[in-house]
Structure 1
Amino acid sequence: MRPDLEYNQNGDVTASSEKLDKVEVASDSSDHGSESIIQAVVGDIELREHNIPKDDIVPPEAPAALDWDGPDDPDNPKNWRFGNRVFQTLPPALFSFVVTFASPVYTTATQQIQDEFNVPLEVAIVPLTTHTLGFALGPMLAAPLSELVGRRYVYIISFGLFLVFTMASGLSPNVAALCVLRLIAGCLGAPALAVGAGTVTDVWDTHKDGGVAAMFFIMAPFLGSSLGPVFGGLISYNQTWRWTMWLVLLIGGPMFLFFIPFMKETYKPVILKKRAIKRGTPLPPQPRGAEALRKVLMVTLLRPLHMLVTEPIVIALSLYTAFIFGVLFLFFAAIPYSYGTQYRFDRRESGLIFLSNIVGVILGSATFGVIDRTIYKKRYEHAIANGQQPAAELRLISAMIGSIGLPLSLFWFAWTCKSSVHWIVPSLSIIFFGWGMILIFLAAATYLVDTYQYLTAASALAANGLLRYGFGAVFPLFAIQMFTNLKIGLATSVLAIISTVMMAVPFVFYRYGKYFRERSAYETLKG
């Protein structure tokens, strides 16, 4: 059996051809449906957590120091019973849900924070910004930590501390403490988002039976972000804002305590290392000190930042998805303001409006699957039948379709969110926002994976995530000023106009993506 992880003569961790095949799903998968697309997304993120520089990849004939005993090795997570594999997939997905749920959950109670701490609304929104900023910073620690102690301990340590600092946030004596504690909680919650994708690829063969599990993991953060304001509005209607923090503990605490005794380690190098120690097998040398730190910094920080300023594909798609994410987080402040001023909605009623976005996310995920199994698959197979390399730009079909939903939604909301129009009309527009958002995000992620090879794709996704959460942190800061000074119609129309201009991104790269791929400074799919 081909090795999954190997060690070269210098003790550097390397990747085998089996793992590389998971990234190159377009070239050797017999099923090019939605499962292979999700494999492309989560499989390459999993490589990122190995921190394997591209230059250290060895040919498949290199010997393995540690590997499974055979294809039926019972210690291999992919050989566990189906029910056990399902159970081991739940913690990262549900932890990601809770972490993203916690970010906007208190935004419908900002008036209470204003009254208690005697601060303006703009300051009361800052804890949303700091918590979201933590999502951008936390993954920088998650990957090297999982390399040392495995995924299970990363979940236990980080999520446990996330709950502790969420509790501390609920006990904050002032708004400054709330901002700092929420920042720390965001950083500690982020590893569930960063490491969880690796667990999916540890446990499932997404070419065969893991597509649904992978899709569930990808949808969980979007559902958490949308449900946060819904439950936050319901609970803060009769309780203080601190109960929004207690709600996170009530959801995440029992879940955490339930999973701890049953969670298993799924990370192959850690499983093999423990087994080798038990068997008395010598362990291969591993990079230490400055060399190990250099590799971690290169993969988790320096390369993503470099790509974010030098690669047109990464820059354009990251800006597009970051803008969409920014608008989503801007809505956490703008929707309560808009419905409060126009329809006299209270916190509870304003929070329920976000159910429309949940409907849109679910419909968008279903649309993505339909597009993938019809339009994408047909064009992919046509290229193969004609002896051609299928273009990576085929992944952008979903984004081109989804891009229509954003300006449609925003213009619709801008022109109908007023007291003379029934509140249900602007609420329906938000469905199209969620629909377009998830289509564009999934298309952009799979296109980056197909375009860039090996760890370079992981760095491209890391750059995308860094900018995306950065925009999500900043946009709420000017939401109220923008909607107050420009009024709801003009403010939302400005966002709609920007989204209309940015519609060109997937269309331009669908037409000229090959040109930029061939001129990239990084290894890319050249066909």
Structure 2
Amino acid sequence: MIDSEKPTKPLATSNLSEASLPIGVDSISNILQKLDDLGLQLSDDHIVDWLPKNQNHPRNWPLKRKLANTACIFLLDTFGALLESGGLVAATQAATEYGISQNQSLIAFSLMYGIGGALGSIIFPPYSEAFGRKPILIFAALMLPLSCMITGLVPSIAGVYIGRFIMGATISIPSTINVGSLEDMWEPATQGHAIYAWVLSAGLGAALGPIYGTYVTSVLGWRWLYHIGSIVSVCILGILLLGISETRPSKLLGNHLIAVQSCAGTLKLRTKTADDHVPDFHTFCQSAIIQPAKIFFQEPIILTMATLSAIAFSLLFLFTESLDIVFKPYGFSQTSYSLAFIAYAIGMIFGIPVRLVEFFHLKKRAETKELEPEDKIIGFATGAPALAAGLWLMAWTTPPLVHGIDWVVPMIGLAGAGFAANEIEYALGNYLADTYTVYASSAFAAYSTLRALLSGIFPLFADRMYNGLGSNVAGSILAGVATLWLISPYVFMKYGKALREKGKFAKFSLETDPNHQALDVLGRQDC
């Protein structure tokens, strides 16, 4: 990326005289003029790179173009998140229609989605390196309505298995590459704001999904969840086709290189990221499967933060199947209980002032010292206690063991869980990018895979857990698990640097990228 690269030394004409040019090469002045017209420069070793103020680089786009592109990628991911959680509500009606158990139906609607999301998180990132952001996002926007049609139109449970699996894999695409797209466009000073806005918008989509699913299902039937999803997805596809641009700088630079190479003859020009290509099977397995697993299990900070963040996020899907049990004693109906997710969404929104304070604090702190990754996990320190407190409050302010407390009180606990989910996920994303730089791809892949699997598994045992143990005991188990993580953010804030310097992958990242250069979600430096 522009700010993270050392300026390329411009080519001196004396180093490449016309007499030394290979046959078929235009004059050096013509080549340099072509480069200048494109806002590019050429080094002594024939590497083509951006000039700092090149308006074709996404970092230098006009603000309106950046905002339009950002809105497009937000739209796809947010609606996908809404379908992810809202689509689960269809399981009950579909079970009756197909004559299967609720758990069998949930396997189709929930677990298959989670498996698709986990595999997509592993498979698709390398292809955004090879083909750029735009083609793979367009592919996701094309597959989303197709997956909705398969789920809603095929008259058998097999259609649900296939449709939800494809949907999970499809939505994993923006979930895994959007961070990279935002880093492509926004300067380091504003990247945090853009990434937080993305995390918040996707979180709100997931939080409001059960409300959408419950009311559409109750009025129109479960298939209309996916009919409407198909219609909206086609509209989103049209918006992306008209409004989204390629943001990966190395891909754009490669396109310019083709134009320059046409007049350079046999003189071989290249870019710093000329290795952007589809990996072979061995390379794919090493970088997309083995390395993420090693990072996840060998780095204690990743293991702790990623696990808590995945649990906090996946609780939303557990609540989709359990909140009707929790709030039924208060007189909530099979549809009105879903309005409790408004409290969850409000909790997420309450994170905005916390984030603004954090941005101000970090800006002031950066004036006096170099920021460390541990300075940016404030969301972990606020989210972990909020999650534990919110779950304990929900567990012991509701029937059957507690009576006489208004339903507003457990709603406050639910808001705490929503606040925590957003805070922890944002802190995790920041920490991974800052700490693991060249291994950011593997770190994100490990987290995304775990999150997808847990969000697919949690709904499977929610009903049995809450009906079998009661809301109080079931809620206490969840709160107890969250409590185990309470001390971890403060340990990492105090001792995180020492742990990071001892970790194999974090240590190597620091040695190869000592200035904490901004990298994309795939862990690669862009030019």
Q: TM-score range by the shorter chain?
A: 0.7 to 0.9
CA distance in 1, matches of 2:355, 2:60: 29
Distance change in 2, residues 1:372/1:284 (3 Å)? closer
After TM superposition, the structure 1 stretch with the greater mean CA deviation from structure 2, 411-420 or 188-197, is 411-420
Moved more, 173-182 or 324-333: 173-182
8 Å contact kept, 1:206–1:214: no
Determine if contact 2:321/2:463 at 8 Å carries over to the other structure: yes
Equivalent residue in structure 1 for 2:303, among 315, 327, 338: 315
Alpha-carbon distance between aligned partners in 2 of 1:89 and 1:288, rounded to the nearest angstrom: 24
Residues 1:87 and 2:79 aligned together: no
In 2 relative to 1, CA 508–261 (structure 1 residues): closer, same or farther, beyond 3 Å? same
Equivalence map 1:87-486=2 (5 Å): 87-126=68-107, 127-207=109-189, 209=190, 211-279=192-260, 280=262, 281=264, 284=270, 286-287=274-275, 292-339=280-327, 341-374=328-361, 376-377=362-363, 381=367, 384=369, 390-418=371-399, 420-452=404-436, 454-486=437-469
Deviation at 1:288, TM superposition (A): 9.3
Residues 469 and 366 (structure 1 numbering): CA distance in 2 closer, same or farther, change over 3 Å?
Answer: farther
Cα distance change of structure 1 residues 335 and 478 upon mapping to structure 2, 3 Å threshold = same
Task: String of CA shifts for 1:136-163, please: whole Å, max 9, x gaps.
Answer: 2213232222223221111111220121
Q: Which residue of 2 aligns with 1:37?
A: none
Distance across 1 between alignment mates of 2:203 and 2:287: 26
Number of aligned residue pairs: give it: 466
- Percent of paired sites with the same residue: 25
SS of residue matched to 1:133:
helix
CA–CA separation in structure 1 for the residues paired with 2:364 and 2:441: 27
Residues 486 and 303 of structure 1: CA distance in aligned 2, closer, same or farther (over 3 Å)? same
Q: Is residue 108–residue 351 contact of structure 1 (8 Å, CA) maintained in 2?
A: no
Q: Using a 3 Å threshold, how does the CA distance of structure 1 residues 185 and 274 change in structure 2: closer, same or farther?
A: same
What letter is aligned with 1:507? Y
Gap regions ≥5 residues in structure 1 = 5-14, 20-60
Q: Deviations over 1:313-345 (max 9, x none)?
A: 111112211221232221111113333x42343
Please say if residues 109 and 347 of structure 1, whose CA atoms lie closer than 8 Å, have aligned partners that are also in contact: no
Partner of 1:48: none
CA contact (8 A) 1:138 1:187 kept: yes
- For 1:72, what is the secondary structure of its paired residue? coil
Residue deviations 1:81-113, cap 9 Å, x none? 221221111221111111111111133343212
TM-score, normalized by length of structure 2?
A: 0.81
Alignment match, 1:56: none
Structure 2 CA distance, aligned partners of 1:468 and 1:290?
A: 26
The residue number in structure 1 matching 2:517 is none
- Structure 2 counterpart SS, 1:346: coil
How many Å apart are 1:491 and its aligned residue? 0.2
The amino acid that maps onto 1:136 is A
Name the CA shift for 1:430/1:284 in 2 (closer, same or farther; >3 Å): same
Q: 8 Å contact 1:318–1:464 — kept in the other structure?
A: yes
Cα distance in 1 for residues equivalent to 2:250 and 2:286: 21
How far residue 191 of structure 1 moved from its aligned partner, in angstroms, is 1.0
2:426 corresponds to which letter in structure 1? L
Q: What code does the residue aligned with 1:407 have? A: A
Q: Which residue of 1 aligns with 2:480?
A: 497
**Separation (CA, whole Å) in 1 of partners of 2:177 and 2:90:** 31
Shift of 1:232: 1.1
Q: Which amino acid in structure 2 is aligned with residue 144 of structure 1?
A: P
Query: How many angstroms apart in 1 are the aligned matches of 2:468 and 2:91?
Result: 20
Deviations along 1:431-460, whole A, 9 cap, x unmatched?
A: 1111122222222332333333x2223322
Could you tell me which residue of structure 1 aligns to residue 497 of structure 2?
514
Find the counterpart in structure 1 of residue 35 from structure 2. Answer: none
Contact kept, 8 Å, 2:144 with 2:230, in 1: the verdict is: no
Contact conserved, 1:122 with 1:480, CA < 8 A, in 2? no
CA distance in 2, matches of 1:317, 1:232: 31
Q: 1:378 Cα shift? A: 5.3
Cα–Cα, structure 1 residues 290 and 247, in superposed 2: closer, same or farther, change >3 Å? Answer: closer
Range moving further from structure 2, 503-512 or 484-493: 503-512
Length-normalised TM-score, structure 1: 0.81
- Opposite residue 117 of structure 2, the aligned amino acid is F
Q: Residues of 1 paired with 2:426 and 2:2: CA distance?
A: 30
Map Cα deviations across residues 475-494 of structure 1 (whole Å, 9 max, x no partner): 11111111111011110011
* Greater mean deviation of Cα atoms: 142-151 or 499-508: 142-151
Q: Which amino acid aligns with 2:502?
A: R
Per-residue deviation, 1:381: 4.9
Aligned in 2, Cα 1:79/1:517: closer, same or farther, shift over 3 Å?
A: closer
**Cα offsets for 1:157-207 (capped at 9, x unmatched):** 122012101111112323343123201121022111122222212222242
Q: Is the 8 A contact 1:3 1:67 kept in 2?
A: no
Larger radius of gyration: 2
Structure 1 residues 336 and 180, CA gap change in structure 2 (3 angstroms): farther
Q: Secondary structure at the match of 2:124?
A: helix
Amino acid at match of 1:346: S
| 505-514 or 183-192, which deviates more | 505-514
Give yes or no for contact 2:129–2:276 (8 Å, CA) kept in 1: no
Deviations 1:468-523 (A, max 9, x none): 22222211111111111101111001111111121122122223323322321124
Superposition deviation, residue 124 in structure 1: 2.3
Q: C-alpha separation between the residues in 2 aligned to 1:310 and 1:121?
A: 38
